[in-house]
Amino acid sequence: GQQVMQIPQYQHVQEGEDFTTYCNSSTTLSNIQWYKQRPGGHPVFLIQLVKSGEVKKQKRLTFQFGEAKKNSSLHITATQTTDVGTYFCADYNTNAGKSTFGDGTTLTVKP
Amino acid sequence: NAGVTQTPKFRILKIGQSMTLQCTQDMNHNYMYWYRQDPGMGLKLIYYSVGAGITDKGEVPNGYNVSRSTTEDFPLRLELAAPSQTSVYFCASSSRQGAYEQYFGPGTRLTVT
């Protein structure tokens, strides 16, 4: 079946540093969704990217979809302690109505 | 709106026991999903439903069963629990329009010993 891979698995940063997580697939992705899960919590939807080369921003977060629709990235500028958590990408197949999730990148931020 | 609710929050089962995890959503969403999340891992799709009366297997359906008799409810049944089913179980729902964002419930932490 399709695999969605995320790197790195873990990232430790000092508060104020930038952070990037990457999502890759060997096959073309349909729609990319990004979720955040706080420790002990449940995943919360952040954004969906649909078009090749699409870039969207939410305050300090920048989301990109690759030109070939085989990769995506989430970049956080000047991390804060509130950014702590695990970030998941998911390939959402609109025809099937279901998602394939990556294993996530866990971010820790040292104050 | 309560969103997606799950019961129970925690449960300990003995090997071979059975149980049903309850999931209800009040957003009139057509799509509903069951995922399991093992420690430090991503979400694996167990079963999903695109509407009342329709269910489909996901990546890891063995040992589980579901039903969808109403739009609101999507219970997950574990038969003959095994230690490998120790996990956190999340139910989610989404609309079939717009951004298809999935709304997750708070999860059920299940331990099988």
Enumerate the residues of chain B whose CB falls inside 8 A of the CB of residue A42: 90, 104-107
User: Taking all residues of chain B, what is their mean pLDDT, rounded to a whole number?
Assistant: 95
Enumerate the residues of chain A whose CB falls inside 8 A of the CB of residue B101: 33, 45, 48
Give the model's pLDDT for residue B1. Answer: 72
Give burial (CB, 10 Å; 0-12/13-18/19+) of B61.
middle
Q: Would you say B14 and B112 are in contact if contact means Cβ atoms under 8 Å apart?
A: yes
Distances (CA, A) of A46 to A89, A97, B61: 10, 18, 27
Q: Residue B100 — pLDDT band, cuts 50, 70, 90?
A: confident
Query: How many pairs of residues across A and B have Cβ atoms under 8 Å apart?
Result: 57
Min Cα separation B102/chain A (Å): 7
Token pair belonging to B13: 């089962």
More confident residue, B40 or B93: B93
Give the model's pLDDT for residue B87. Answer: 97
Q: Residue B94 — pLDDT band, cuts 50, 70, 90?
A: very high
Which of B59, B100, B103 lies closest to A94 in CB terms?
B100
Token pair belonging to B32: 């509903």
